[in-house]
Amino acid sequence: MIQQFHLHELSWIQALQNFRTPILDDWFRFSQFFDHAYFYILFVLGTFLLGRKVGLRVAIVFIMSALANKALKLLFDLPRPHMLDPSLGIVSLNSPGFPSGAAQGAVLVCGILIAEFKGTWRFFVGPLFALNLCLSRVYLGVHFPTDILGGIVVGFALLTFYFTVLLPHSKAKLPDSS
């Protein structure tokens, strides 16, 4: 059943790629940086500038995200679009596609920007970042829309853990040791 649905999704990706231009190709290839370990390391290190507790809870949730994504990809072992139709592969990856780690990370970055940073810019930058990263993965032919949806669901589950467990715990006052 999933393979039949993937055939429909291939046609959606082909329709999206009908809008291909060299500028869009370059932009979305550039956007891949935001789905790389280097970006997440820089992001986590940047949150340490807000304080040790912030940096630690962000590091914890990103480590959990990486582990969850790896386990889920191994569990589901679903192909990427370019594996079924090589003509869609602007970029090629060899690992399983479901769920999208980029979508997971995009949800987390968006939520953490909104939760931890100040200023109205975060309400614009966070969602725009997430939208761009998720769209780029489909445009480049490395994820099906359902891969993105799966990553968003996992990302929101991790963000819920962040808000309900990590954030309140880190704001609790520790007793004086004197």
Which of 140, 164, 135, 139 has its CA nearest to residue 152?
135
> How does pLDDT run across 56-109, given as a tens digit for each residue?
999 999 999 999 999 999 999 999 999 999 999 999 999 999 999 999 999 999
List the chain domain ranges: 25-169
Residue 115 CA to residue 171 CA, distance in Å, equals 13
User: Phi and psi at residue 175, in whole multiples of 5°?
Assistant: -65, 150
Mean pLDDT of 29-56: 95
Query: Phi and psi for 96 in degrees, rounded to 5?
Result: -60, 160
Q: What is the share, in percent, of the chain residues with pLDDT greater than 90?
A: 88
Distance separating alpha carbons of residues 169 and 178, to the nearest angstrom:
22
- Please state, rounded to an integer, the average pLDDT across all residues of the chain: 92
- Dmax over CA atoms of the chain, in Å, equals 67
Query: Cα separation of 27 and 140, whole Å?
Result: 10
pLDDT digits (tens, 9 = 90+) for 97-155: 999 999 999 999 999 999 999 999 999 999 999 999 999 999 999 999 999 999 999 99
Distance CA 86, CA 113 (A): 36
Give the per-residue pLDDT at 178: 40
Quote the CA–CA distance of 9 and 39 in Å, as a whole number.
29
Closest CA to 158 of 110, 94, 125: 110
Q: Are 69 and 37 in contact (CB under 8 A)?
A: no
| Per-residue confidence (pLDDT) for residue 7, from 0 to 100 | 85
Q: pLDDT per residue over 17-40, tens digit each?
A: 999 999 999 999 999 999 999 999
DSSP, collapsed to helix, strand or coil, labels residue 147 as: helix
Q: What is this structure's pTM? A: 0.90
Orientation angle between helical segments 37-48 and 52-76, nearest 10 degrees: 160
Q: Which residues are within 8 A (CB) of 4 and not within 5 positions of it... i.e. 6 or more apart?
A: none
